[in-house]
Structure 1
Amino acid sequence: MQTKASSSRPMQFRPCIDLHKGKVKQIVGSTLSDLENRAAKKKLLTNFVARESPSHYAELYSSDGLSGGHMILLSKDEETQVVARRALRDFPNTLQVGGGVDVRNALSYLDDGASHVIVTSSVFKRGELQMDLLERLSGVVGRHRLVLDLSCRRRDHGGDYFVVTDRWQKYTSLKVDEATLSTLAEYCSEFLVHGVDVEGKQLGIDSDLVRLLGDFSPIPATYAGGVCDLDDLETIKREGRGMVDATVGSALDLFGGTLRYEDVVAWHREQEAGA
């Protein structure tokens, strides 16, 4: 397999905020559902619910000089919109925002202070990527302010990765490979990729997925899913070949885990200093 040379850019820690029903939460991503019935609610696994608002976390990230973090809106209710937009206004250009973003509302998030908008489901129909929708959105917000979410999972053990949409519940026909990454990089400035099968489980990262992104992504990609400790960050640094940043969710002490946020920030600063 032919691979590209490693990038000289330092790997970054990208912080996150996941919002559900107006609360900052850490949810096992594979249990999310749009279905509003008792059976679906019973299957939703939540690792952590914060007392603090998203503005609290945005202030923390801003004060620590962390940029490029993402705030994902996991529900469509009004309360989620209110607290999310308040955080964007309070700390402009600190966070990217995703979850329900489309051509109709993307500019409003940027106007409210988002540094970038993140999109996935709105550029797919019936499991197929609609290039005309992606081109239109990229044209409206500008390639430099668009992040494409390619969160994915394997259909079969050891098989190819396919993008999943609609809160990671629906497989699409889009395979995450060299050709896909090369083509889509023409329309956005970054990729956000959750390893859905390990997301929120604190069982370790999907090294195969990180390696794929490191080998073939021509633009920066942020990997999310399963990071437990600083060793996982070192693995992402090595396998990502300088093109893959990382976010940490449930494992952080901010969100009920045991990995100290301060240690991750210190690790991030070491990467910057060593660049």
Structure 2
Amino acid sequence: MIIPCIDLLDGKAVQLKQGKEKILEVEDVFGIAGRFSCAGDLAIVDLNAAFGKGNNDLLVEQLCASYDCRVGGGIRTSQKAEQVLSWGAKKIVIGTAASKDFLSALPRKKTIVAIDSSRGKVVANAWRESTGVPTIDFALDLQDYCSGFLYTGVDVEGMMGGFDLDFAKSLRELLDGELVVAGGISEIEQVSNLDAAGIDCQVGMAVYSGKLSIEDCFASCVNFEKRGGLVPTVVLDPDGRVLSLLYSNYASLKEALKTGDGIYFSNSRQKTWRKGETSGNTQTLLRAYSDCDRDALVFVVEQKNGACHTGEYSCFNNYGFSLQDLEKTIAERISVPSPKSYTSLVSTTPALLEEKIMEEAQEVIDFTDQTNLKREVADLTYFLTIKLAKNGLKWDDVFKELQARSK
């Protein structure tokens, strides 16, 4: 599939021709990220850090908090790698510093090695120095120390003049794990050919310039022919609860990705259909995924009211209680305090909240049986959720921290 790339320089999104000449500059980084994020992970590259001229740490951290990001640029120490992962980065991309010793200190499944290549040899230090090491030898030497590779053809990067598909395929045959290709990609056929070969593509200049669109790239990789032009589309809410099973065709998928709405193909209407266009129960598309065979989709949506025509939240009647529901209730009590609400009282009395957290933590330690333990943990969770909310955090932030610590 595709991985949209956002290169950061001095707090702005830029596109450089062959890593040198600035062709484009955009100040609204989050506007770009929001537009790109429906279709996949975002590749965030801190050019300042890569060039050794400052960094964009705060901006990168904010992007990681909001989107699924793989981050590269200037990650040359294990401390920096750990810091970036602690921000919630899904993966880190290691370039100049890539060596067996360095990679051994990093979580393999979260580490991608960048192979920046010019004329068959690896280049380093923001593409300014040739190492003299053959590209294939470099990759084979390090493949046991990472989850995959990002191969960039430096000679064609930012030129939109095509790339060497045969060489990319030869890398795919030799290497295990994920393989992403960047540099020179400018046509839909190139994207679909790479995907058919088991290779993802990282796109930048072609998308910014309008030569490619995110929706065209994504849709071109989906196998609509297998079921007569339609693919089943499982619709989930952000908590992973199944809302419905619908269908997409090429046109409806493109429109959904372009507009950010829940748009599908209606068998009964025999046309593209926007969810909620008559009922008002609309959907905002947060993320689209395809399965490994490219013949099924998952839409993650923000659902307004119920998703089912009966008025129920889910067509599968599987609406259960979640931590997110607790967070929403607590957020409402905090934003609109009520003298009758215990949550409002606790949230506005810091000393009481701290007292209750300490009290419930001790009761968890002193539990008497399984029933008592689960009740005390529930009490503690309630008060901790208030503590998080009062400090602008959610449980998702805690889970991202745990994810960052996993090896």
TM-score range, shorter chain: 0.7 to 0.9
The one-letter code sitting in structure 2 at the alignment partner of 1:66 is: G
Q: What is the number of equivalent residue pairs in this alignment?
A: 224
Residue aligned with 2:15, SS = strand
Q: 1:65 Cα deviation (Å)? A: 4.6
Task: Choose the corresponding residue for 2:104, options 120, 135, 138.
Answer: 135
Q: 1:163 Cα deviation (Å)? A: 1.2
1:19 aligns with 8
Q: State percent identity of aligned pairs.
A: 25
CA change 1:264–1:250 in 2 (3 A) is same
CA-to-partner distance for each residue in 1:208-239, whole Å, 9 max, x for gaps? Answer: 4312222212121100011111021133235x
For 1:25 and 1:203, the matched residues in 2 are separated by 19
Task: Choose the corresponding residue for 1:74, options 47, 56, 62.
Answer: 47
TM-score w.r.t. the length of structure 1 is: 0.74
Gaps of 5+ in 1: 1-11, 32-44, 124-129, 155-160
Bigger relative contact order, structure 1 or 2 (CA pairs below 8 A, ≥6 apart): 1
The one-letter code sitting in structure 1 at the alignment partner of 2:74 is: G
Task: Choose the corresponding residue for 2:215, options 262, 266, 269.
Answer: 262
1:42 aligns with none
**Residues 1:48 and 2:24 are matched in the alignment:** yes
The one-letter code sitting in structure 2 at the alignment partner of 1:144 is: K
Task: Choose the corresponding residue for 2:162, options 179, 204, 207.
Answer: 204
The one-letter code sitting in structure 2 at the alignment partner of 1:274 is: D
For 1:101 and 1:261, the matched residues in 2 are separated by 28
1:59 aligns with 34
For 1:181 and 1:78, the matched residues in 2 are separated by 29
CA contact (8 A) 2:6 2:45 kept: yes
CA change 1:167–1:79 in 2 (3 A) is closer
Gaps of 5+ in 2: 224-289, 297-407
1:107 aligns with 82
Q: 1:79 Cα deviation (Å)? A: 6.3
CA contact (8 A) 2:147 2:178 kept: yes
1:250 aligns with 205
1:84 aligns with 60
For 1:146 and 1:190, the matched residues in 2 are separated by 7
For 1:223 and 1:74, the matched residues in 2 are separated by 19
For 2:124 and 2:93, the matched residues in 1 are separated by 13
Matches within 5 A, 1:118-267: 118-123=93-98, 130-136=99-105, 138=106, 142-154=107-119, 161-177=120-136, 179-238=137-196, 241-242=197-198, 244-252=199-207, 255-267=208-220
CA change 1:209–1:30 in 2 (3 A) is farther
Q: 1:14 Cα deviation (Å)? A: 1.4
For 2:204 and 2:43, the matched residues in 1 are separated by 11
2:72 aligns with 98
Give 1 or 2 for the bigger CA radius of gyration: 2
The one-letter code sitting in structure 2 at the alignment partner of 1:133 is: F
CA change 1:79–1:131 in 2 (3 A) is closer
Q: 1:269 Cα deviation (Å)? A: 4.3
| More displaced 10-residue stretch of structure 1: 223-232 or 199-208 | 199-208
Q: Higher helix fraction: Structure 1 or Structure 2?
A: 2
Q: 1:144 Cα deviation (Å)? A: 0.5
The one-letter code sitting in structure 2 at the alignment partner of 1:265 is: F
